[in-house]
Structure formats: structure tokens, C-alpha cells
Structure 1
Amino acid sequence: MWAWDYSLKVEEKFFDYHFSSINAEEYTSTQLYKHYKRKEKSNKGYIKKELPYTFDLASSFEKTILNRKTCVGTFSNNQRITMNLIARFSQLAFIGGEGGHRAYPSGGARYYVNIHYMFHNERVDEDLWKQGNISELNMDTNQLLIKDSIPWQVVEDAFIQKKLVSTAQFAIVLSVDLQSISKKYTDISYKLVQQEAGHIGQNIQLVSTYLGMQSLPLGGFYDLEVNRLIGGNETTLYVFLIG
């Protein structure tokens, strides 16, 4: 018997919205955006109050805030990337230690954003790539799950700025299964996972700086290619290069 369909079918809307703005290699020549110099914000005639402050460089937190900058050239690779360093990085930026409270907020504590590491086998310790250099972080079990082994040249080909990727020691991919995110917040779920990715991204840059590494938040990747690199039913939201 025929019945009315009351479902919102929000998953279809998420897919349509997301994939309407992806990068693809065949479109690169038409996706070059004209650079406009940023215009300084006007005070619009409002009453002004000065906010003078000198950073306390004896404070590791304030020093990290001051030194956090996006890498715009080749990566310095000042740190030896070991399993212990990745464990420390993961705990500080993502897992948040014991107790079940992660290092970043998520709408309704759903934690829909998935975190993947992609390691450059020539620039990190062998323990991080000998069984596979594409890993997913399971923050519920505090484990790195080895998913695949892919030559770094193939990883480079998934990005527009290949020279930058070539000097990075590893990449972090934030992704989501778009079909799984609408159970609690239905039509606003896509907005919430983007906010969650932003919270995670800020942690990535701050922890990178704190541990003596450079970072670059990156939108210049080919979405479908990165999706294939991390595997599964994942849709890439954001990528960070670290080195």
C-alpha cells in the first residue's frame, strides 16, 4: 500500500551541497581565484577602547599562541617524527587523555569527524610506515589503525600544491561519513561537523607549534583523490600538512 514519505532525506542534501564545491584536477584551470588584498576593517565611527598587551614568553601557552603561524614555504622538518611523538601529538590535539573527554568540542558529543594520518615514508621513522603509511585514529581505544600503504608520490598527486606536500613529514585528513551524521541534529548536522573540523584544526596548529613543528591548513586538494587515499565511505573536509 502506498504511503506518504515524511523523511527529510537530508543525507542527499549534504552530498549535493558538499560536492558542488569540490576541487577536481580537470577543473583546476577554471578554479583559479583572483587574489584581492584584504581591506582593513573600519571602526565605523564607534567609540574606541585600546587593548594593549605584551605576551608573556615565559608561559608556554602564550608563547605557542604567539608563534602559531601557517607555513608558506617548504617545511623545516626540525623534529624527528617517531611513534612516541605521534602518540603525544594525538593525545594533546585529539584524545585528551583518560576520562573520555576529548581535546575538542563536538555538537552533542557525537564526534562524527574522523582523523587520518598519512606519513611520508622518507621523512618519518620506519615504525610509522613499514606496515602501512595510511592510518586512522581510533580515539575510543587510543590506537592507530593501519589501513593502507601508498607511495608518497601518489599522495602528492592528490594535491594542487605538490611542492609543499613533498617536504611535509605527514598529513592529517579530517573526514566524515556524510550518510551517518544526521541521526541527532538532522538538517544542521553538516554545519556542526564543519564546526567540529574547525575546532580540531585549531588544535592541530597549536599542538604542532608547541611541539616544534610547522603546519599548514589546506583546501588545495582533489577531494575524490584524497577520499580514495583514506578509504572507506569517507568524505574529506579538511587537510593539514605538518613538517
Structure 2
Amino acid sequence: MKEIERHATNLVDVVYGNEKLRFDDPSENWFEASKVYRSSMAWDAPGVAGLMRSATLQKIATHAGKRFDDLPLITLPSPLRTSVSLDEVIQNRRSIEQFNGGSTTLAQLSTILQGSYGLIERPEGPRRPIPSGGALYPLDLYVVSNKVDSLEKGLYHFDPYRKGLVHLGEYSEEDFGRIMLQEEAVKDFSFAVIISASFWRSRFKYGHRSYRFIFIEAGHLMQNMILLATAQCIQSRPYGGFIDDELMDLIGGHNGVDDAPIYTLVAGT
């Protein structure tokens, strides 16, 4: 028992440092705030009742997403059909250590974008290929094109409603590597997909619990992307670590509170 207690004490030191345990730890406070209790459900999920009463609000909520309708649209080709079995894709998926500098096609990129977070028209309304808390879809995808055939190098936003990409600006490959804290690992990549969250699109309904739903949804989305990449023999690696403010500056229009990048896929050959 004393041996177990000694190891437990060491773990506490690793997590909290040498300071005394506090009662205002930010991570613990957030997790507590995101819990749902039966006695307080009315304010734990403040927007549920209002959303249920308003058909108009329901329609607006299910058409979420950043829009750049004032900019020219690059229409994506139809997604490719893959014949690889799901078992084979799961077995073959790897987080690649380094890329070889080859290019990918626009059709391959389209397959990953539309197959992971594209729009699916259903009788109950527009949906995406992954589950989302309340079907609110609070995520947006930004593409960093480095070596994609028929697509200029630059930063793009994926528009699932119009099935295309909108060119937002330029970027530096060297700066991108520094932002990802992995200059050598991401060198010679073909493209990257930055998952951005607009927290308010879920929080208005689910309160603090929304953050759990958003991060879970980002995981569903990333899994779709890496499996679709593997099915097309594209190497990939997901990254959760990056310099937040610098990545926000790269994609633009984010303040780090209402919206922020939360996950990134880097892919290539």
C-alpha cells in the first residue's frame, strides 16, 4: 500500500508541480462546470427549450458554418469511390513521421473533405457524415494547400453547402512548420486541414457542456479524414499541439474565445 501511495504522490507532483493542491484548478473547474445535473438542467442546457419551440431557429441552427459568399468559389470534383474494406483501412492507418514531397490530386482532397464533413441532404434536413450534438455542426475546415494538383498554394475555406473551396490568402510553408512545432515532420506535406470551432454555435443550446460535444465531434471528424486518407494511400498525421495565436493569425477571423482552431491534419505522400 505504501508503494502505491508513493507512486500516486509522484503523479500528483507531475500534474500539479510542487505546489499545494488548489481548489481553483482551471481544468477541474471547467469539467465541473460542464457537468449536467438533473436539478439544474434548465440552466445547464439553456437553449434547449427555446430551440424546441422555434422552427425558424431550428432551421438556422442546422445550416451552421462560416460563409464567404462574396469570394469566388472553386468547385470541388466529385468524391472518389474507394474499394478498400474498412477492416483493411483500420489496420493500415499510421501516423506518418515524415513526408516524401509528392503531390496529391484535387479529387483526393475533395474525397477527404466531403466524405468527412460534407453536406448530406436527408428527409429530416441537412446533415453531415458524423454525429454532432443537436446536429449543430459547430466546426469549419480550413485547407492549407502546399502540393495539390490543380490547386494553387494557399489558404482555403471549405464550403460544404456549395461543395467547394474559397481562396482566403497566402501562407509560408516555413511559418506553418514553426506554428505546428514540427518543422521537419511536416516538411514537404501536400495539404493540411485545420479544424476550427465556433463555440457559440453549440454553447447557446448546451452551455458549458457544449465544449465536450465540440471536442468529441472534432475527434469524429479527424477519424473520418485519416481513414479516407488511408483508403487513398495518402499518409497523414493529426496534430493537437500548435502555437494557438499564430495559427489563428494564419487562418484569420478568429479571436480565440468565440472561435479557435482546435485540431489539425497534415497529409501527403
TM > 0.5 fold call: yes
Q: Match for residue 62 of structure 1? A: 87
Q: Match for residue 86 of structure 1? A: 109
> Which consecutive unaligned segments of at least 5 residues does structure 1 have?
1-12, 18-57
Q: For 2:175 and 2:100, how far apart are their aligned partners in 1?
A: 22
**2:106–2:148: 8 Å Cα contact kept in structure 1?**
no
Q: Match for residue 165 of structure 1? A: 186
Calculate the aligned-residue CA RMSD, in Å.
2.3
Q: For 2:99 and 2:119, how far apart are their aligned partners in 1?
A: 27
Q: For 1:59 and 1:231, how far apart are their aligned partners in 2?
A: 37
The answer on 1:109 being equivalent to 2:109 is no
AA aligned to 1:68 is: R
The one-character-per-residue Cα deviations of 1:88-136 (angstroms, maximum 9, x if unpaired) are 222222216554331111111000011111111xx322x3225xx1111
Find the partner of 1:235 among 244, 260, 264: 260
Find the partner of 1:213 among 222, 227, 234: 234
1:128 aligned counterpart, secondary structure:
coil
1:167 aligned counterpart, secondary structure:
coil
> Which consecutive unaligned segments of at least 5 residues does structure 2 have?
1-25, 31-82
Q: Find runs of 4+ consecutive structure 1 residues off by over 4 angstroms.
A: 96-99
Determine which structure has the larger helix proportion and give its number: 2
Aligned residues between the structures: 183
Give 1:205 deviation, angstroms: 0.9
Q: For 1:239 and 1:208, how far apart are their aligned partners in 2?
A: 14
Give 1:177 deviation, angstroms: 2.3
The one-character-per-residue Cα deviations of 1:44-75 (angstroms, maximum 9, x if unpaired) are xxxxxxxxxxxxxx96221111101111x212
AA aligned to 2:110 is: A
The one-character-per-residue Cα deviations of 1:174-200 (angstroms, maximum 9, x if unpaired) are 111234431111121111100110000
Identity across matched positions, percent: 28
1:191 aligned counterpart, secondary structure:
helix
Q: For 1:96 and 1:177, how far apart are their aligned partners in 2?
A: 18
Determine which structure has the larger strand proportion and give its number: 2
Q: For 1:111 and 1:206, how far apart are their aligned partners in 2?
A: 20
1:193 aligned counterpart, secondary structure:
helix
Give 1:173-212 correspondences, 5 Å limit: 173-212=194-233
